[in-house]
Structure 1
Amino acid sequence: MTRNQRNSPASEKPSERSATKARRDLASDTAAHALRLLEKVRSAAESRTAKDRVTDPQTPHAIVVGGGIAGLVAARELRQTGYRVTVLEAASSFGGCVRRVDVAGLEIDAGAESFAVRGGTVVSYLDELDLGEKITPTTGVGAWLIQGEGENLVANPLPATSLMGIPAQVRNDDVRRIIGRAATVRAAADLVTPMPKKWATEKLSLAEVVRNRMGQGVLDALVAPVVNGVYSTDPARIDIDAAAPGLRAAMQETGSLAKAVAKLQGDAPAGSRVAGLDGGMYTLVTTLTEQLTAASVALVANSPVTKIDHDPQAQHPYTVHSLGQELTADRVVIATEAQAALNLLNPMFEDSKRISSEAVSNSVALVVLVVDKPELDEAPRGSGALVAQNAPVVAKALTHASAKWPWLAEQSGPGTHVVRLSFGRIGQHEPIVESGDTQALLEQAIKDASKILGVQLNQDDVVGSAISRFNDMVPLQGEEASARRAQLQDAVQDFDGLDVVGAWLAGTGLARVIGHTRRSVAISAR
């Protein structure tokens, strides 16, 4: 196959009409298959229930709504504590935000690609799954920051020792090059300014702390690009304790934000605070689904849940409706995105406890490009780059994945490179993302990659591409998120055996999602 053949868009392929019909037939067959599987699950559950009445009447049935990471983790916890478990997933595959695409013969993460090492939450969980030996560090190559206005673009390495963009050494050349001399002098005031005692307990946003301690220059030029690139949101919307656990206590102990960052980060080299899995993070999904299937957990894809009924007096208090079928359960875990979860929960709540499901537009997209470009062998922008909001680039971040992950570099080989570009910020309208125009997004990704990498890329250099969209993203944390979480906890406590988990409650990142899910399921385990 020639490069041009591999690049041909779907609209150029022959028999488009028959291909469309085939996709429709496949979708119909998929739904029918899901319905048959769901009917088997229902019949099997009824048979097991009848048998349990004679043998073990205490064996409960749990239904997990949503087959993302939170749902799969919850299913495993429940199965290990003796539940019969059914997982109902609306999509055709499991994993949620942990996804994989096959591009130009390479299997590439099209969602989460790494996890935070600090705290050990994910590492210990991977060990439990016998995946410890597959944990792999990054290459250690640092990231860059892209700034500029108009058509002027400036690229600089990010400070090696920093946390969420907050520098531990405010006077070094890396910081000065990015924020300028005047802003550096202002940032250094953090080292001699007394720490407010009230900061030990009062509610603080990440933006508020950085602005007060180091100034607007550090916030705008360093922290905001990192937070926008990693979490797709504004630092003002993130609570400092959620963004950087332990930072508040370290500030009180050291009397300085910079010293607190240094205390938390130590002398860790670039890239050592995150890790991945050999073969990609999607290995976590395949391992979980394989182990759940082996443990007789029913995994049912293409099965959207439309309603949940609750009758506390019934033998099985919950009835879950999907594809016209009714499944009864003793326990339910809702592990969907925010909008879908609230659509199921609110009809169960009293009017006074219903939670607003109005959401600000927050779609984001990830474009994966596999390019034939030997000039990138030198990794001109390290492991990737974060983009300041005023820079002449639409993408908010770029990851040079084959420069970041040794296993991917080995698979792709010299001259072939994998780059991932992120578009869209939470709470902001990004026309190129919201339009749904795949071709326009792909062309913009190639244009932005050229600017960010400093190497001219053309359509002919692209040997494969894929686009992954995420439509119900949420900030890491914020006052609105905290208030909604408290309101939800108050409403759910009236329902014995009902849990709600997921990134919209736990925050962004596998460590938060896995930890929150395990705690939530364990707290109400019976």
Structure 2
Amino acid sequence: MGEPVNALPKTPAAKCEGKGAKYVSKESTPAAAARRDKAAEAPAHALRLLEKVRKASEARHAKQVHHGEKPAQAPHAVIIGGGIAGLVAARDLRQSGHEVTVLEAGNSFGGCLRTTEVAGLTVDAGAESFALRQGTVASYLDELDLSPRIAKTSGKPAWMIQDGQDGILAHPMPATALMGIPADVRSDEVRNIIGRAATVRAAADLITPMNKKWATEKLSVAEVVRTRMGQAVLDQLVAPVVNGVYSTDPAKISIDVAAPGLRQTMQETGSLAKAVAALQASAPAGSRVGGLDGGMYTMVQALVQQLEEDGAALVRNSPVTAISYDAQAQVPYALSSLGQEIRADRVVIATPAAGALELLNPLLADKARISSDNAPNAIALAILVVDKPELDDAPRGSGVLVSKQAPLAAKALTHSTAKWPWLADEAGPGTHVLRLSFGRIGEQDPVVDSGDDQQLIELAIKDASKILGVQLHRDDVLGSAVSRFSDMVPLQGEAAMERRKQLEQALAPFDGLDVVGAWISGTGLARVIGQARRAVAISAR
């Protein structure tokens, strides 16, 4: 979502649907056994709740048939998927007068916003920050009465790890940058990372006339940076940021989607660097992203609580296996879940792409069906809580991005206790939370694909030692966890934009059917929330 480097790294970024996290942690056997017992009871509990929803649905339908027309009662909206997009859509529909049912296939709500307890600390196991620019997320948090809990970062800088002749090199990232694109191409930080000759090439951006065709033609982030500032800036500054934050290649991301307003500002200023400086002028370092005191999962808890208090039915462990549509019926939609049929006036599909298309395509004519993207997209987040007083001074700032050429498996590390003062206070001196990201969209990663969490944790300990320049041993680790994401999407590429247009055309014949989520909106909480609210506002008219 086009956030600056001081937001880094936050992967897996705000991809806001997805399967439940898988965790590895130092926990007692009785606790694990208790969770297994609870998990065994979950399907039966879900079935009981679905039976209640089904009976209420049938009663509504019978009343409508008896009256011969729709009575003046609330229409029933079913949201398939309880990630952030689904919960946001559910809340808006409930506030507009709908009876709302949320059916979540997994055991927890939130999607990309996940939490786990590691070594006694409650830690975000997914997205842990949001962009402050444009205020979309902050305004929504205000609606949830969470404004007092919005947390500022420490303001510590992000760093970069590069491949060096005698090992790895570590440098602070430019203080003022957008996706790694520097506003001051002559700064020492830029020169130290890309070298003197490449800095001279980058400075050519300040005097080279802007191509007038760039006002309208399609442009990727990679094309803009390479043309204006050179290959070194792209490879050594921008690519690590885009890979670390969005898990994808800058050649696959539209400049307009990644950085709204940058194209126009480039035309106005005549320079990429000046355009970045202008966009960042109102957002000084350290204030471009925010979080929540207690973690971003607090937002999920607030949404779930409000929905339950407002009478919405929230059902976990209830995968929807099919949808049917009869335009002539009083209640046009019928959904199947756990052998139950749920009738609905409106349906919002808020699942990841693969699951959404499995439900949607059977409703479409063959020529209108939408193919899914089969590119590899598994991402893993390894969380370490370590006892290491040497990290109290945050030797590599709030987080570190890793160049693809560096001899490390991790693509990014967040020093969470250095980034979030509230978490540092909870952890206390000497205890630190580290989050390491593995895997890139479109690329196979043997460590991620293996599913071996223990191997991933061991690798995370080794990579964290190299990245931070402080030797970590297994005995230093107080607790660990692994969170996996298996249906990720890039920020937005041309293929994704084309698929979105195809989806809009496919949905046109269906009154009251919407699809929301990151695979449609693009990565980032601001995009996910905005698209979900627009979708249900249109369908609710």
Structure 1 residue aligned with 2:363, among 348, 351, 364?
348
Write out per-residue CA displacement over residues 499-523 of structure 1, whole angstroms, 9 at most, x where no aligned residue.
0000011111100100111111112
1:31 is matched by which residue type in structure 2? Answer: P
Indicate whether 1:445 and 2:457 are aligned: no
Specify the SS of the correspondent of 1:378: coil
Contact map agreement 1:147 1:153 (CA 8 A) in 2: yes
Q: Are residue 185 (structure 1) and residue 200 (structure 2) matched?
A: yes
Task: Deviation per CA, 1:444-476: give whole Å up to 9, x if none.
Answer: 000000000100000000001100000000110
Establish whether residue 366 from structure 1 lines up as the match of residue 381 from structure 2: yes
1:423 corresponds, among 414, 433, 438, to 438
Give the corresponding residue for 2:88: 73
Separation (CA, whole Å) in 2 of partners of 1:149 and 1:314: 68
Are 1:143 and 2:139 counterparts? no
Instruction: State the SS of the aligned residue for 2:151.
Output: strand
Which amino acid letter does the alignment assign opposite residue 489 of structure 2?
Answer: V
After the TM superposition, which of the residue ranges 357-366 and 338-347 deviates more from structure 2?
A: 357-366
Question: How far does the alpha carbon of each residue in 1:264-296 deviate from its partner, in whole angstroms, 9 at most, with x for none?
Answer: 001643221100111110000000000000000
Q: d(CA) in 2 for partners of 1:387 and 1:64?
A: 39
Superposed CA deviations along residues 317-340 of structure 1, whole A, max 9, x for unmatched, are 100110010000010000000100
SS at match of 1:393: coil
Tell me the equivalent position of 2:242: 227
Within the candidate set 503, 517, 520, 2:535 is matched to 520
Aligned partners of 1:512, 1:59: CA distance in 2, in Å? Answer: 29
Once the two structures are superposed, the pairs formed by residues 133-212 of structure 1 within 5 Å of their partners are: 133-149=148-164, 152-212=167-227
Distance 1:518-1:183 versus aligned 2 partners, 3 A rule: same
Pick the aligned partner of 1:510 from 522, 525, 529.
525
Q: For residues 416-495 of structure 1, what are the structure 2 equivalents within 5 Å?
A: 416-495=431-510
1:212-233 Cα deviation digits (max 9, x unpaired):
0000000000000000000000
Distance 1:385 1:191 in 2: 28
Does the CA contact (< 8 Å) of 2:179 and 2:242 recur in 1? yes
- How far is 1:24 from its partner? 5.9
Contact 1:317–1:330 (CA<8 Å) still a contact in 2? yes
The reply to whether residue 105 of structure 1 matches residue 120 of structure 2 is yes
Could you tell me whether the CA contact under 8 Å between 1:149 and 1:392 is conserved in 2? no
For residue 26 of structure 1, report the CA deviation from its aligned partner: 3.9
Deviates more, 1:441-450 or 1:58-67: 58-67
Q: CA deviation at 1:480?
A: 0.9
Q: Indicate the larger mover: 236-245 or 140-149.
A: 140-149
Q: For residue 197 of structure 1, what is the amino acid of its counterpart?
A: K
Question: In 2 relative to 1, CA 267–174 (structure 1 residues): closer, same or farther, beyond 3 Å?
Answer: farther
CA deviation profile, 1:61-103 (whole Å, cap 9, x unmatched): 0000000000000000100111000000000000001000001
The percent identity for this pair of structures is 69
Give deviations 1:37-62, integer Å, cap 9, x for gaps: 11111112333455677794342100
| Equivalent position of 2:45 in the other structure | 33
Deviations 1:400-441 (A, max 9, x none): 000100110100000000010000000000100000011110
TM-score, normalised relative to structure 2: 0.92
Partner of 2:5: none
For 1:14 and 1:378, how far apart are their aligned partners in 2? Answer: 36
Structure 1 unaligned segments of length 5 or more: list them.
Answer: 1-6
Structure 1 match to 2:415: 400
Q: Which amino acid aligns with 1:321?
A: S
Q: Does 1:118 align with 2:136?
A: no
2:290 is paired with a residue whose SS is: strand
- TM-score by structure 1 length? 0.95
Residues 198-207 or 264-273, more deviating: 264-273
Please state how far the C-alpha of 1:151 moved relative to its aligned partner: 6.0
The aligned amino acid for 1:469 is: R
Distance 1:149 1:140 in 2: 28
Contact 2:61 2:330 in 1 (8 A): no
Distance (whole Å) between structure 2 residues aligned to residue 283 and residue 28 of structure 1: 27
Q: 1:458 to 1:486 in 2, by over 3 A?
A: same
> Are the aligned partners of 1:433 and 1:441 in contact in 2 as well (CA < 8 Å)?
yes
Equivalent in 321, 334, 356 of residue 319 of structure 1: 334
Q: Is the 8 A contact 1:343 1:357 kept in 2?
A: no
Equivalent residue, structure 2, for 1:4:
none
Alpha-carbon RMSD: 1.8
How many pairs were matched up?
Answer: 515
1: distance between equivalents of 2:349 and 2:524?
A: 18
Separation of aligned partners in 2, 1:90 and 1:311: 25
What's the counterpart of residue 15 of structure 2? none
3-state DSSP class of the match of 1:146?
strand
5+ unaligned residues in a row in structure 2: which ranges?
Answer: 1-23
What's 2:311 paired with?
296
Sort the Cα spacing of 1:267 and 1:188 in 2 relative to 1 into closer, same or farther, 3 A: farther
Partner of 2:492: helix, strand, or coil? coil
Shift of 1:392: 1.3
Aligned residue number for residue 217 of structure 1: 232
Q: Which has the higher contact order (CA 8 A, sep 6+)?
A: 2
Paired residue secondary structure (2:117): strand
